[in-house]
């Protein structure tokens, strides 16, 4: 069937790739061992530091996010090392626990309900009991994409600092970097992992590790086998502006453009934009009288909202109807949430009217799938957008007195 207009890609990543980024990649591939490439590489290495809010090194792999998760583990740990992984949802399981077990690490999976962020109290209990410092790393997903729940990284780090526990802190920001405030250096994170296909507004295909000095030091004695992912090989070549193997050249052109766009908007404004869209989406869900899966308002994600359907209803049918009728993709419930939630992605290259269109599609889809709900979600979202816009503009708009003076 021919579809008119643009597909609405409202899964929580891959996200919509802006025309500027598409345009930047639409060019002949260049020699990745030539001077023009070295210039590009140096520019992107510097640019991505700003996004992680770090002065340290950032390794960029031609990989998916999971590859970058594996890179974080194999560069810092040895076979049989004990690590703590905080259970937050599907991704703490598939991208971390399953990968770590396959690599031969001894995983302590700290249980979580999926509806709240990783708990500093639970981490405190685990690390306090570990007087011999047998845990070598703590792994946390910052924004759990399967649930729309944020974990408090600074607070988790504070627990480790207070207990003087030397474990490395490894954080997955695959669906939060460049969407939700995240500070690699200030929060004392050792390895931050991300991917290209969400807040960075690129197609899938790049994986990133931001790396602390402590993590590099740990790498000198880490014995997990590594070749493709080896940071030292990467650094050696990166110094000259090159890679140990053929890099994803055209994605790097896109990355340079994405960094330029984020710089122009300003990271603080990017975060604020996501906050407004998160709030407006949640206003819609409440007006529909449906339940937001995240049950702790402090942990609401401004990148993705998981919406529960009432008992007996099937969230997949809602999504399927919306795809068929309105050409919009929403995120499915993953793992134990299959059929129970659908997820609205509101991250990356996104604006008020795209959100309004997205929520209109959801509201019509709820009707078509005969999901018991109330009307008025879109109206509530528009009100939320307008009121947050007024608050945002209030500071920069002239006061009434100033206006009079001007006249
Ligand atoms: C939080 C999180 N971690 C890990 C992954 C895995 O990344 P990828 O599918 O790019 O390998 C994803 C993917 O969506 C994710 O959202």
* Ligand 1 atom with least separation from CA of 146: 16
State percent of the chain over pLDDT 70.
Answer: 96
List the alpha helices (DSSP H) in 34-113.
35-52, 65-74, 90-91, 98-102
Strand bridging mode 168-172 / 135-141: parallel
The structure tokens 């399981």 sit at 93
* Ligand 1 atom with least separation from CA of 69: 4
Q: For residue 343, what pLDDT is reported?
A: 99
Instruction: For residue 150, report the distance from its CA to the centre of ligand 1, in Å.
Output: 15
Q: For residue 390, what pLDDT is reported?
A: 73
Instruction: For residue 90, report the distance from its CA to the centre of ligand 1, in Å.
Output: 10
**Distance, CA of 109 to CA of 116 (rounded, Å):** 16
Average pLDDT rounded to a whole number, residues 260-282: 98
Instruction: For residue 92, report the distance from its CA to the centre of ligand 1, in Å.
Output: 9
Q: Which of 11, 71, 25, 99 is nearest to 109 (CA)?
A: 99
As a dihedral over the C-alpha atoms of residue 133, residue 144, residue 102, residue 131, rounded to 10 degrees, the angle is 10
Give ligand 1 pocket residues (Cβ under 6 A). 13, 64-66, 91, 95, 141, 145, 172, 174-175, 195, 204
**Distance, CA of 122 to CA of 129 (rounded, Å):** 11
**Distance, CA of 193 to CA of 363 (rounded, Å):** 35
Asked whether the bond before 14 is cis by omega within 30 degrees of 0, the reply is: yes
Q: For residue 179, what pLDDT is reported?
A: 98
Residue 89 or residue 393, greater confidence: 89
Residues paired with 137 in a beta bridge? 83, 168
Q: For residue 401, what pLDDT is reported?
A: 39
Instruction: For residue 67, report the distance from its CA to the centre of ligand 1, in Å.
Output: 9
Of the pLDDT bands very low, low, confident and very high (cuts 50, 70, 90), residue 394 is low
* Ligand 1 atom with least separation from CA of 142: 1
Q: What is the pLDDT of residues 64-86, one digit of tens each?
A: 999 999 999 999 999 999 999 99
SS3 395: coil
Q: Which of 100, 73, 67, 108 is nearest to 219 (CA)?
A: 73
Residues paired with 304 in a beta bridge? 345
**Distance, CA of 272 to CA of 83 (rounded, Å):** 35
State percent of the chain over pLDDT 90.
Answer: 95
* Ligand 1 atom with least separation from CA of 145: 16
**Distance, CA of 236 to CA of 241 (rounded, Å):** 9
Provide the sign of the torsion angle of the four alpha carbons 13, 274, 342, 174, taken in this order.
positive
Instruction: For residue 91, report the distance from its CA to the centre of ligand 1, in Å.
Output: 7
251-278: b (≥16 Cβ within 10 Å) or e: bbbbbbbbbebbeeeeeeebbbbbbbbb
CB 200 within 8 A of CB 258: yes
Of the pLDDT bands very low, low, confident and very high (cuts 50, 70, 90), residue 314 is very high
Q: Residue 153 has which token pair?
A: 């990284």
Q: Residue 361 has which token pair?
A: 């599609």
* Beta-sheet strand order (sheet of 206-211): 57-62, 206-211, 191-195, 168-172, 135-141, 82-86, 106-110
**Count of beta carbons in the 10 Å neighbourhood of residue 294:** 23
Instruction: For residue 139, report the distance from its CA to the centre of ligand 1, in Å.
Output: 14
The structure tokens 């078509």 sit at 368
Query: Contacts by 318-323 with C-beta closer than 8 Å and gap 24+?
Result: 318/342, 318/362, 318/365, 318/366, 318/369, 318/371, 319/365, 321/365, 321/368, 321/369, 322/361, 322/362, 322/364, 322/365, 322/368
Q: For residue 405, what pLDDT is reported?
A: 37
Task: Answer whether residue 270 shows pLDDT above 60.
Answer: yes
Q: Which of 95, 68, 330, 327 is nearest to 207 (CA)?
A: 68
Q: For residue 398, what pLDDT is reported?
A: 41
* Ligand 1 atom with least separation from CA of 68: 11
Q: For residue 402, what pLDDT is reported?
A: 38
The DSSP element (H or E) to which 386 belongs, if any, is helix 377-394
Q: Which of 306, 296, 298 is nearest to 362 (CA)?
A: 306
Q: Which of 42, 77, 52, 43 is nearest to 210 (CA)?
A: 52
pTM of the model: 0.96
Average pLDDT, the chain: 95
Instruction: For residue 13, report the distance from its CA to the centre of ligand 1, in Å.
Output: 9
Q: Output the residue whose Cα is nearest ligand 1's atom 15.
A: 174
Residue from 142, 195, 199, 332 to probe ligand 1 pocket by mutation (most atoms less than 8 Å from CB): 195
Distances from the Cα of 192 to the Cα of 142, 263, 358, angstroms: 10, 20, 31
* Ligand 1 atom with least separation from CA of 13: 14
Q: What is the pLDDT of residues 89-116, one digit of tens each?
A: 999 999 999 999 999 999 999 999 999 9
Instruction: For residue 395, report the distance from its CA to the centre of ligand 1, in Å.
Output: 38
Task: Answer whether residue 14 shows pLDDT above 60.
Answer: yes
């Amino acid at each position: 069937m021919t579809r008119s207009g643009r597909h609405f890609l409202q899964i929580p990543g891959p996200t919509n790739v802006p025309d500027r980024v598409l345009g930047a990649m639409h060019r002949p591939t260049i020699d990745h061992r030539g001077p023009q490439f070295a210039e590009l590489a140096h520019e992107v290495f510097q640019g991505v530091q700003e996004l992680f809010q770090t002065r340290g090194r950032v390794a960029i792999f031609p990989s998916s996010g999971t590859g970058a998760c594996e890179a974080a583990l194999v560069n810092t740990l040895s076979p049989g090392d004990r690590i703590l992984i905080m259970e937050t949802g599907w991704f703490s399981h598939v991208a971390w626990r399953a990968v770590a077990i396959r690599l031969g690490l001894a995983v302590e999976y700290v249980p979580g309900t999926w509806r709240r962020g990783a708990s500093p109290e639970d981490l405190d209990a685990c690390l306090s009991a570990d007087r011999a410092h047998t845990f070598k790393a703590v792994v946390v997903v910052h924004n759990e994409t399967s649930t729309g729940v944020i974990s408090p990284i600074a607070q988790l780090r504070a627990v480790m600092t207070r207990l003087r526990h030397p474990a490395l802190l490894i954080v997955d920001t695959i669906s939060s970097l460049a969407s939700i405030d995240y500070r690699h250096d200030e929060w004392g994170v050792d390895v931050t992992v991300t991917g290209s296909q969400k807040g960075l507004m690129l197609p899938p295909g790049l994986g990133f590790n931001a790396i602390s000095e402590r993590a590099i030091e740990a790498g000198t004695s880490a014995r997990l086998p590594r070749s493709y992912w080896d940071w030292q090989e990467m650094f050696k070549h990166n110094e000259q502006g090159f890679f140990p193997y053929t890099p994803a050249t055209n994605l790097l052109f896109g990355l340079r453009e994405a960094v330029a766009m984020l710089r122009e908007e300003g990271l603080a404004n990017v975060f604020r934009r996501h906050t407004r869209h998160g709030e407006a989406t949640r206003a819609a869900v409440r007006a529909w009288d449906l339940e937001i899966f995240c049950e702790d308002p402090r942990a609401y994600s401004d990148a993705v909202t998981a919406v529960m359907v009432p008992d007996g209803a099937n969230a997949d049918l809602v999504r399927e109807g919306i795809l068929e009728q309105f050409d919009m993709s929403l995120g499915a419930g993953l793992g134990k949430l299959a059929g129970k939630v659908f997820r609205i992605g509101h991250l990356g290259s996104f604006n008020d009217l795209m959100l309004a269109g997205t929520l209109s599609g959801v509201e019509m889809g709820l009707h078509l799938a005969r999901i018991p709900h109330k009307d008025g979600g879109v109206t509530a979202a528009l009100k939320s957008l307008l009121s947050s816009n007024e608050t945002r503009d209030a500071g920069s708009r002239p006061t009434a007195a100033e206006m009079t003076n001007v006249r």
